[in-house]
Amino acid sequence: MTLAAPDKPAVAGASPAGAHDQQAAARAVREMFTAIAPRYDLLNHLLSLNVDRLWWRRAARTFTGILERPDACVLDLCCGTADMALALRHRAAGSATIFGADFSHAMLTLAGGKARDRVKLIEADALCLPVRDACFDLVVSAFGFRNLASYDAGLREIFRVLRPGGEVGILDFGEPKGIVGKVYRLYFRRVLPLIGTVISGVRGPYSYLPASVERFPDPSQMLERMRAAGFCDVNWTPYTFGIAGLYRGKKA
């Protein structure tokens, strides 16, 4: 895929309002997701018109070759309430092992109720995972990577825990162009924060969401960061007119 030249300045990672360093940014993100955890699933499905379910399934289907291996070991990074992990579990061989990692205890509590014994859950920071080098065949992150305090450190940590020949998949929001982009931005900047705030009862997180998407590297920048972290065969596949997209790469 040929990508246009980047038109965004390079950024280090997520930067919630009031956060002046990486530690403060990580703390603010954890607090936001803890606050909205009780209404998180409802709002995700409502605000995406249930398209998010199709995105998870499509991303999982992309990695069928790995998931069907009987000895596959897979990590859903920044797993939230485990929807991506469960999509992976659905396509995986029965003997494959699916892990989910997140640093929000509230999110993992909800994930545990949904996943039960189908997914092994780990409370951990994505930038410092408590696992040995080269232990996963696949690492997937769905709509969580964007919230890391350091994108480059996150990619390096994913590279560290992947086995040689392992793959990464990062599913996250994008910014579509043209008429679709104009309608999307109007919805994302004006309608979504209002609905999210009313239903969750928490002011702030749903204003942060569109800001974090605008701040996230565009595809050409993200692919270059993946190459710099050591990944090869990197590519990006847009979903639903580019509203979301899947970044893929391999550890040689």
- 26 in a structural domain: yes
- 187 in a structural domain: no
Evaluate if residue 75 carries a pLDDT over 60: yes
Residue 115's pLDDT is what? 93
Which comes out higher in pLDDT, residue 161 or 186?
A: 161
What is the residue range of 153's domain? 22-175+217-251
Which comes out higher in pLDDT, residue 18 or 95?
A: 95
Residue 205's pLDDT band, with cuts at 50, 70 and 90, is: confident
- 2 in a structural domain: no
Identify whether the C-beta of residue 96 lies closer than 8 Å to the C-beta of residue 24. no
Evaluate if residue 118 carries a pLDDT over 50: yes
- 168 in a structural domain: yes
- 11 in a structural domain: no
- 101 in a structural domain: yes
> For 116-142, what is the mean pLDDT?
97
Residue 7's pLDDT is what? 62
- 7 in a structural domain: no
Q: What is the pLDDT of residues 94-111, one digit of tens each?
A: 999 999 999 999 999 999
> For 78-89, what is the mean pLDDT?
97
Evaluate if residue 144 carries a pLDDT over 50: yes
Assigned token pair, 224: 């270059």
Evaluate if residue 237 carries a pLDDT over 90: yes
Beta-bridge partner residues of 74: 98, 138
Residue 246's pLDDT is what? 98
Q: Which residue has the tokens 């109720």?
A: 113
> For 219-237, what is the mean pLDDT?
98
Which comes out higher in pLDDT, residue 86 or 19?
A: 86
The mean pLDDT value of the chain amounts to 91
Q: What is the pLDDT of residues 149-182, one digit of tens each?
A: 999 999 999 999 999 999 999 999 998 989 999 9
Residue 4's pLDDT band, with cuts at 50, 70 and 90, is: very low
Residue 151 CA to residue 80 CA, distance in Å, equals: 18
- 53 in a structural domain: yes
> For 145-149, what is the mean pLDDT?
95
Distances, alpha carbon 142 to alpha carbons 2, 75, 102, 156, 163, in Å = 24, 11, 12, 17, 20
CATH number at residue 155: 3.40.50.150
- Taking CB atoms within 8 Å and a gap of at least 24, the contacts of 177-184 are 177/242, 180/241, 180/242, 180/243, 181/242, 184/243
Q: Give the total number of structural domains in the chain.
A: 1
Evaluate if residue 1 carries a pLDDT over 80: no
